[in-house]
Amino acid sequence: MTNTTHSQLVNVFYDTHPISESQVLDKLAQNGIDTSNLTVELLQQHDQDHFGGLTATDALAHHAHINESTHVLDLCCGLGGPARYLAYHYGCRVTGVDMNTDRLAGAVRLTEKTKLQDRVLFHHADALQTGLTDGAFDVIVSQEAFCHIPDKKTLITECARLLKTGGRIVYTDILARNPMTREIRSRLENEMTFSELSTLEEYCHLLEENGCQVIEVEDLSDDWAQILIDRLAMYRSLKEQTVSSFGLAHFQKWDRTYSFFVGLYRSGELGGGRFVAHKLESI
């Protein structure tokens, strides 16, 4: 399978994802909120597409020492929920990068509604080749997105290129733990567009190879096993909206796939990790 085909599949996956700009706005409208004029506090309950919610984003901010003078790159930012959250609560500037055109357009519109567009900017690009300037960022954050990118070596090299010397890369990702059968690997690729999942050790090696010293690694697998059970329940609670946007068959397929994915945490095939590293030298 070529990279182009894989990227197209990832784009389709997110074009038909239960969490979307319209789903977030509908949810707020159902709660009687005027969606023409939003605050980050209102949006942040609905616009985060990663595991562990706002607590997980706070943990990244803490490990990255984010403050008012930090320029953050949120790589694979989706609808921009964490980017807005970090800018609003920590006072930093954030650039969000994502390759999905519709999600990025949604991120721009939601950010304008919160009037944060001066501090939260978005850039349409593939994370493997962002086109952004060398050493432009103090911090890179990412949450549950690198799993979609098969070429982890190029990805981490691009991250190291974008970081200032002394800057921090802090991210969480879905990890392979036990060796997986070909059938499991192929279902994860075809149904979730997760390809070539890394192990904890492989990421540490790649970071070190690219001039980044690993400061801390946390195995989040046990926490995520429970978080994902809750997340499946959350997706089920969105049934009506998912069916109305994409049809019943799509909802049922999503539900089957997500149940399979959650099961892989229970059986120990999949895990999760948080990586904190800093760039030692220009490469």
Please report, as a single letter, which amino acid is at residue 151: D
Smallest separation, CB 75 to ligand SAM (Å): 7
Nearer to ligand SAM, 210 or 248 (CB): 210
Q: According to CB under 6 A, which one of 93, 148, 231, 278 is a site residue for ligand SAM?
A: 148
Calpha distance 63→110 (Å, rounded): 27
For residue 271, the surrounding DSSP H or E stretch is: strand 270-279
Calpha distance 247→224 (Å, rounded): 29
Q: According to CB under 6 A, which one of 23, 25, 52, 81 is a site residue for ligand SAM?
A: 81
Scan residues 125-144 and list those touching ligand SAM (CB under 6 A): 126-128, 143-144
Q: According to CB under 6 A, which one of 99, 163, 170, 207 is a site residue for ligand SAM?
A: 99
Candidate segments 62-70, 121-129, 197-205, 235-243, binder of ligand SAM by CB under 6 A: 121-129
Smallest separation, CB 12 to ligand SAM (Å): 10
Beta carbons of 95 and 132 less than 8 angstroms apart: yes
Scan residues 223-242 and list those touching ligand SAM (CB under 6 A): none
Q: How many residues bind ligand SAM (CB under 6 A)?
A: 22
Instruction: Compute CA 245 distance to the chain's CA centroid, rounded to the nearest angstrom.
Output: 23
**In the sheet that 270-279 helps form, which strands lie side by side, from edge to edge?**
120-124, 93-98, 71-75, 137-143, 163-176, 270-279, 212-219
Calpha distance 271→177 (Å, rounded): 6
Smallest separation, CB 80 to ligand SAM (Å): 8
Smallest separation, CB 280 to ligand SAM (Å): 25
Instruction: Give helix 221-237 / helix 248-266 axis angle, nearest 10°.
Output: 160
Calpha distance 135→120 (Å, rounded): 18
Q: Report if residue 251 touches ligand SAM, rule: CB under 6 A.
A: no
Q: Hey, how many other C-beta atoms are within 10 angstroms of the C-beta on 231?
A: 18
Q: Report if residue 50 touches ligand SAM, rule: CB under 6 A.
A: yes
Q: Report if residue 48 touches ligand SAM, rule: CB under 6 A.
A: yes
Q: Angle at the Cα of 22 (from 88 to 224), degrees rounded to 5?
A: 65
Q: According to CB under 6 A, which one of 18, 40, 60, 78 is a site residue for ligand SAM?
A: 78
Pairing of strands 212-219, 270-279: antiparallel
CA distances in angstroms from 275 to 11, 58, 172, listed in the order given = 26, 14, 6
Q: According to CB under 6 A, which one of 92, 94, 149, 227 is a site residue for ligand SAM?
A: 149
Q: Report if residue 173 touches ligand SAM, rule: CB under 6 A.
A: no
Q: Report if residue 103 touches ligand SAM, rule: CB under 6 A.
A: yes
Binding site for ligand SAM (CB under 6 A): 10, 14, 48-50, 76-78, 81-82, 98-100, 103, 126-128, 143-145, 148-149
